[in-house]
Chains A and B, each alone.
Chain A
Amino acid sequence: MKKGQIDFQFFIIVMALLAIGLIMVFSSSSEAARHDFGDAFHFIKKQLLWAVISFIAMMTLSKIDYHKFSKFAFPILVFAGFLLVLVLIIGQELNGGKRWINLGFSTFQPSEVAKIAIIIFFSNSLAKNPKILDKFLTGLMPYLAILGAFAALLMKEPHLSGTVVIVAIGGVILFAAGAKIPHLALLGVPTAAAGALLVMTSEYRMKRVTAFLDPFADKMDGGWQIIQSLYAIGSGSVFGVGLGRSRQKFLYIPEPHNDFIFSILCEELGFVGALIVILLFAALIWRGIRIAMKAPDRFGSLMAVGITTLVAVQVIINIAVVTSSMPVTGMPLPFFSYGGTALFAVMCCMGIMLNISRQSKA
């Protein structure tokens, strides 16, 4: 392995996002923690521990040649598939979905593993068979079948946001790897139709859609979360109410340290803070794509694209949801939303990115 320098800018951006994320987890969670556990530090303590572990994992992975994952691409995929089945059996039921597996010391979402598995397997396979996508049935379809199977298992939990992310990652890697545009278009139509059907067949999802269209119509019920989010964002104005001074975190926004952490950030730090964070994410995506372009080989490129997409999709959907730009789905914001395993997963991916950057072409 060529031992070059890691992409230092990428590293700085990751560290900045992690730092801001931790601050926001503390700021937003303190009141809920006090209310539910009698300890303002309940959540931040756990998150800090996970941040340290994740940081070590990232630094370790940045030193491990990513080519070594090639060998494990298929086993990881099988393992991920196994976990997705397992969670349906032994998963913890939470908020109307079986998404978590309890490890005793922590819980984790198999979907996190599935995302990484898809990235590694697709990148490896497509790098080894550069022309396979020229064909539809024997080329594109097997990948779509794997993706479809994973998506189906995720929807069974149900885990809409995980499904969306998996499909997006897979789709983008396939797209980057040279899938034919007509083939993708051919698939786009039925997928959209299926999506529409999914929405309309479930009252729960339908409600979420309508809530997004006019959150104020149903103030007490479906629109509650999104209205509270908008109140928080609106209250922030240009410079925010000040760090730690959010009022919406006082139980108005349920679990403010989770999916709606960006609303609290907007409230406390204002448009200026929101702008800085979005620009940091934009920079991260830009550096990620740059790493992908400079990767020494096709495997590295596709993996970098996949990981970048993983972050990008989550960021875009999360911010779109909290600003009521799309229907509510429980999408966490990478580096920000509370959750140790999710942070661990994304930091591992960042480690891989750093390793790819280390081997980049001149």
Chain B
Amino acid sequence: MSVSKMRMQLNRRMYFILGVCVILLFLLILRTGYLQIVSGHELSKQASEQQTRDRIVNSKRGTILDRNGKQLAVSVPVETVTVAPTQINANADKVAIEMVATGLSQILGLEYQFVYDKLTKPQAYEILKRKIEKDEADKVREFIVANKVLGVNLDADTKRVYPYGSLASHVIGFTGLDNQGLEGVESVFDKNLKGSPGRIVSAKTAAGTDMPFKYEKFVDPKDGLNVVLTIDETIQRFVEKHLETALIENKLLNGAACIVLDPKTGEILAMSTKPDYDLNNPFYVESEDIRKQIELLPADQRTAKKEEELRKIWRNKAVVDSYEPGSTFKIFTSAMALEENVVKLNDTFYCGGSVRVANHNIRCWKSGGHGHQNFVEGVQNSCNPVFIEIGSRVGTEKFRGYFEGFGFTQKTGIELPGEAPGIFHNKAVFNEVELATSSFGQSFQITPLQMISAIGAVANDGKLMRPHLVKQLTDVNGNIVTEYGSEFVRQVISKETSETLCSILETVVSEGTGSGAYIKGFRLAGKTGTSEKLPRGNGKYIASFAALAPADDPQVVCLVILDEPSAGLYYGGQIASPVVRSIMDDTLNYLGIEPAYTPEEKATLESAVPNVAGKAVADAKNIIKNSNLKVVVEGGGEKVLSQMPKGGVKVNQQSTITLYTEAKTAPTMTVVPNALQMSVVDASKAVSQANLNVKIIGAGSSPAGGGLVSYKQTPLAGTSVEIGTVVTVEFRRIDAGE
């Protein structure tokens, strides 16, 4: 090969080498371009997933307050332990991880294996334990610092606390693990309460520390709004106390419900369902029997059964359960008839115990019948034939119109989950018989809430207001963000009809079936109701009582429903009216409504015992006598050392006050006699004869009123007490039915 030929071969081969290099570099350009431009998005997304730490900063959940600013539900800071397993595994070996797992399982009281599994999961984020209190969190922090643990974090969290426990549980509701509202107002106003969470996105190095440059995005959390309820905690407490008593006394198999409403605004002042549950522990089944039942089930059915039971416990009867109202509905039949002018107050009716409507024999609740009576007496007696008659005078068309007008066919729109709409006859099948039964409140179903808002309309000059529970939303500083005013729905009956009806209803309490609800000084008006649950003849009843007061200018309306009493009595006039009386008595006093006594009431009024301790005996005697009380002096001293009952206690007029003038070692004791199952006169006599004072409750306007029987006394018979002690005896009607 010549030199030039060799040179040519060399050059050829060098071109070849250059060519290979250029081709390879070109391919690498394509490869790089592919990675950066085509796969770039996906790769950079994965890259930033490992490079960033996205921390959620929970917003503070708003507080739920009662109308006076009492905190019913508050969020308190707690901490949640989270782990970043990928970070842990990148920085620690097996031994170190085992050490961390041991330490954390001890501090947090968790199973070692559970912790170890969490730490070694191929995940970027795992929750180890939620909502731990500060002292526990501090221990974790110490552990982290002492052992230089990377990848175990404490995140700020909040926990919902309900300071009043079970109070208004069905209204307030509760939240789940993620602070999400699950029931009640917590659920319905979840969006407003929760605010919006903030986020911190920060860059981290592979060692888990923060990158130095500004790769931080911070979105401020927006705290949730406070929800101010129309509920008044004090009234709610009254309601719950008396309803709870009724639940136990009457052995209610299906619970009880009560709503107290301000008729002028539609604001619900109290709403309760019994039995209730502890909002701080809503997933706990209180009944031991049911817990046992659940445990006896096969493992796979337990969860479902528990959920079913919990749903029952959480069920807000007052809103969700529709019921057959029975005679309380006669208020509305009366309203229609009066408004339509088809009945006069002194129209006379005859009740023979039953009436025939289109070949059906419909009976009155009183088997013998009520005989001759005028309209007002008919209402007082809650006489079915009277209402069948006036119902038919109103007619199907108008009846339906008013029924709708009072809001019985629609949901009220209350701010609670699961409201029922009620069930009524279709227009096509609403004929004579249906009209007759509907006239006295049977053959259809409504909710307690619909009932109370309709009664509100009767009490509020015929204006139906939309019932509501939430007064306003306020921000962190208490400024009002949204105000929920009262909402006028429609004028259902005229003001005149409303007034007439209220005064008739007042007589139901003062003279009729509702006398068990009588309170001196507060012109209570109301209507009893008793309905037999379907299927008829099973002996299961719902007793109810609806009331408004004062009758001349109603401020409060109240409805009590007792579902399936099993302690013997079941008529609304027997068991529901005393509950309403107690609630109304407390509530009206609390609201500062001035009692207006009739002259007869004045004569039977209670007096407060004057405090005469320390005074000269003669002066003391005078003071007591001037208070319409009797006096007995014990001992021969000149000064009163002590007295029984003590000053300030309210006793009936002409009660006896014992004055002690000598220091004695022991007061004169006596044994409380039995005062139960007696008439007012007999009970008073029994108590007085034991040198004790008597306080009569629930005896109506006439202390000697017939049909009243004592059913409750405190202290109980057989208790040893000082003479002069006040024995409270409560009465109820047993002759009264509906």
Which A residues lie at the B interface, using CB under 8 A?
Answer: 31, 35, 130-131, 172, 175-178, 220, 230-238, 245, 247-248, 250-252, 266, 270-271, 274-275, 278, 281-282, 285-286, 289, 292-293, 298, 301, 305, 308-309, 312, 315-316, 319-320, 323, 325
- In the complex, which of the residues B14, B28, B41, B43 contacts A289, with contact meaning CB atoms closer than 8 Å? B14
Task: Known contacts A178-B6, A305-B17; decide if A251 and B31 are in contact (CB<8 Å).
Answer: no
Q: Which of B104-112, B163-171, B202-210, B218-226 contacts A (4 or more CB under 8 A)?
A: B202-210
The residues of A that contact B43 with a CB separation of less than 8 Å are 230-231, 233-235
The answer to whether the Cβ of B68 comes within 8 Å of any Cβ in the partner chain is no
Q: Are A245 and B213 in contact (CB under 8 A)?
A: yes
Q: Are B10 and A178 in contact (CB under 8 A)?
A: yes
The residues of B that contact A301 with a CB separation of less than 8 Å are 10, 14
- Chain B CB count within 10 A is highest, among A35, A289, A320, for A289
Q: Are A130 and B44 in contact (CB under 8 A)?
A: no
Residue of A with least CB distance to B13: A176
The residues of B that contact A231 with a CB separation of less than 8 Å are 43-44, 46-47, 50
Residue of A with least CB distance to B6: A130
Q: Are B13 and A247 in contact (CB under 8 A)?
A: no
Task: Known contacts A234-B44, A237-B40, A252-B50; decide if A293 and B11 are in contact (CB<8 Å).
Answer: yes
Give Cα A339–Cα B84 distance, bound, in whole angstroms.
36
Give Cα A292–Cα B3 distance, bound, in whole angstroms.
16
Q: Are B17 and A251 in contact (CB under 8 A)?
A: no
- In the complex, which of the residues A232, A247, A289, A305 contacts B211, with contact meaning CB atoms closer than 8 Å? A247
The contact sample of 19 A-B pairs, CB cut-off 8 A, is A131-B1, A230-B43, A236-B40, A237-B40, A247-B47, A247-B203, A248-B47, A248-B51, A250-B206, A251-B205, A252-B205, A266-B36, A271-B36, A281-B25, A285-B22, A285-B25, A286-B18, A289-B17, A323-B32
Task: Known contacts A178-B6, A247-B215, A325-B31; decide if A234 and B25 are in contact (CB<8 Å).
Answer: no
Q: Are B17 and A298 in contact (CB under 8 A)?
A: no
List the 3 closest pairs (A to B, CB-CB), nearest first: A234-B43, A231-B47, A250-B205
Q: Are B25 and A237 in contact (CB under 8 A)?
A: no
The answer to whether the Cβ of B714 comes within 8 Å of any Cβ in the partner chain is no
Give Cα A266–Cα B90 distance, bound, in whole angstroms.
25
The residues of A that contact B204 with a CB separation of less than 8 Å are 250
Residue of B with least CB distance to A233: B35
Residue of B with least CB distance to A302: B10
Q: Are B33 and A282 in contact (CB under 8 A)?
A: no
The residues of A that contact B42 with a CB separation of less than 8 Å are 234
- In the complex, which of the residues B17, B39, B206, B207 contacts A176, with contact meaning CB atoms closer than 8 Å? B17
Chain B 75-114: CB-based contact to A (< 8 A → 1; otherwise 0): 0000000000000011000000000000000000000000
The answer to whether the Cβ of B429 comes within 8 Å of any Cβ in the partner chain is no
Residue of A with least CB distance to B45: A234
The residues of A that contact B13 with a CB separation of less than 8 Å are 175-176, 178
The answer to whether the Cβ of B627 comes within 8 Å of any Cβ in the partner chain is no
What's the nearest-Cβ distance from chain A to residue B720, in Å?
81
What's the nearest-Cβ distance from chain A to residue B26, in Å?
8
The answer to whether the Cβ of B24 comes within 8 Å of any Cβ in the partner chain is yes
- In the complex, which of the residues A238, A282, A323 contacts B21, with contact meaning CB atoms closer than 8 Å? A282
What's the nearest-Cβ distance from chain A to residue B6, in Å?
6
The answer to whether the Cβ of B37 comes within 8 Å of any Cβ in the partner chain is yes
Q: Are B207 and A320 in contact (CB under 8 A)?
A: no
- In the complex, which of the residues B32, B33, B207 contacts A319, with contact meaning CB atoms closer than 8 Å? B32
What's the nearest-Cβ distance from chain A to residue B334, in Å?
79
- Chain A CB count within 10 A is highest, among B9, B33, B35, B89, for B35
Give Cα A235–Cα B41 distance, bound, in whole angstroms.
7
What's the nearest-Cβ distance from chain A to residue B41, in Å?
8
What's the nearest-Cβ distance from chain A to residue B536, in Å?
71
Give Cα A286–Cα B20 distance, bound, in whole angstroms.
11
Q: Are A305 and B14 in contact (CB under 8 A)?
A: yes
- Interface size on B, as a range, is 35 or more
Give Cα A289–Cα B51 distance, bound, in whole angstroms.
44
The answer to whether the Cβ of B476 comes within 8 Å of any Cβ in the partner chain is no
- In the complex, which of the residues A35, A274, A323 contacts B207, with contact meaning CB atoms closer than 8 Å? A35
Task: Known contacts A230-B35, A266-B32; decide if A282 and B25 are in contact (CB<8 Å).
Answer: yes
Q: Are A237 and B205 in contact (CB under 8 A)?
A: no
B window 547-593: CB within 8 A of A: none
Residue of A with least CB distance to B211: A250
Give Cα A320–Cα B22 distance, bound, in whole angstroms.
14
Q: Are B31 and A235 in contact (CB under 8 A)?
A: no
Task: Known contacts A234-B40, A235-B40, A286-B18; decide if A252 and B28 are in contact (CB<8 Å).
Answer: no
What's the nearest-Cβ distance from chain A to residue B88, in Å?
12
Residue of B with least CB distance to A323: B31
Residue of B with least CB distance to A216: B46
Residue of A with least CB distance to B1: A131
Q: Are A274 and B37 in contact (CB under 8 A)?
A: no
Give Cα A274–Cα B28 distance, bound, in whole angstroms.
10
Give Cα A17–Cα B553 distance, bound, in whole angstroms.
97
The residues of B that contact A275 with a CB separation of less than 8 Å are 29, 32-33
Give Cα A275–Cα B44 distance, bound, in whole angstroms.
19
Give Cα A275–Cα B36 distance, bound, in whole angstroms.
11
Give Cα A177–Cα B205 distance, bound, in whole angstroms.
51
The residues of A that contact B24 with a CB separation of less than 8 Å are 316, 320
Q: Are B21 and A316 in contact (CB under 8 A)?
A: yes
- Chain A CB count within 10 A is highest, among B17, B21, B27, for B21
Q: Are A289 and B18 in contact (CB under 8 A)?
A: yes
- In the complex, which of the residues A130, A172, A232, A308 contacts B47, with contact meaning CB atoms closer than 8 Å? A232
The residues of B that contact A289 with a CB separation of less than 8 Å are 14-15, 17-18
Q: Are A278 and B28 in contact (CB under 8 A)?
A: yes
What's the nearest-Cβ distance from chain B to residue A53, in Å?
29
The residues of A that contact B213 with a CB separation of less than 8 Å are 245
Besides A271-B33, A325-B27, 7 more A-B contacts (Cβ < 8 Å) are A176-B14, A178-B1, A237-B37, A248-B51, A250-B205, A252-B50, A278-B28
- In the complex, which of the residues B11, B15, B18, B206 contacts A285, with contact meaning CB atoms closer than 8 Å? B18
Q: Are B36 and A236 in contact (CB under 8 A)?
A: yes
- Chain B CB count within 10 A is highest, among A35, A230, A234, A285, for A234
Give Cα A289–Cα B25 distance, bound, in whole angstroms.
15
The residues of B that contact A309 with a CB separation of less than 8 Å are 17
Residue of B with least CB distance to A317: B24
What's the nearest-Cβ distance from chain B to residue A131, in Å?
7
Give Cα A281–Cα B26 distance, bound, in whole angstroms.
11
- Chain A CB count within 10 A is highest, among B24, B42, B89, B215, for B24
Residue of B with least CB distance to A325: B31
Residue of A with least CB distance to B206: A251
- In the complex, which of the residues B1, B28, B206 contacts A323, with contact meaning CB atoms closer than 8 Å? B28
The residues of B that contact A175 with a CB separation of less than 8 Å are 13, 17
What's the nearest-Cβ distance from chain A to residue B302, in Å?
40
Q: Are A233 and B6 in contact (CB under 8 A)?
A: no
What's the nearest-Cβ distance from chain B to residue A143, in Å?
16
Q: Are A274 and B36 in contact (CB under 8 A)?
A: yes
The residues of A that contact B211 with a CB separation of less than 8 Å are 247, 250
Q: Are B29 and A278 in contact (CB under 8 A)?
A: yes
Give Cα A274–Cα B18 distance, bound, in whole angstroms.
20
Give Cα A237–Cα B44 distance, bound, in whole angstroms.
8
What's the nearest-Cβ distance from chain B to residue A122, in Å?
14
Give Cα A293–Cα B33 distance, bound, in whole angstroms.
32
The residues of B that contact A177 with a CB separation of less than 8 Å are 10
What's the nearest-Cβ distance from chain B to residue A4, in Å?
20
The residues of B that contact A292 with a CB separation of less than 8 Å are 14
The residues of B that contact A270 with a CB separation of less than 8 Å are 36
Q: Are A271 and B6 in contact (CB under 8 A)?
A: no
Chain B 168-204: CB-based contact to A (< 8 A → 1; otherwise 0): 0000000000000000000000000000000000011
- Chain A CB count within 10 A is highest, among B40, B90, B204, for B40
What's the nearest-Cβ distance from chain B to residue A295, in Å?
10
What's the nearest-Cβ distance from chain A to residue B570, in Å?
72
Residue of B with least CB distance to A177: B10
The residues of B that contact A131 with a CB separation of less than 8 Å are 1
What's the nearest-Cβ distance from chain B to residue A26, in Å?
15
The residues of B that contact A176 with a CB separation of less than 8 Å are 10, 13-14, 17
- In the complex, which of the residues B15, B22, B39, B51 contacts A247, with contact meaning CB atoms closer than 8 Å? B51
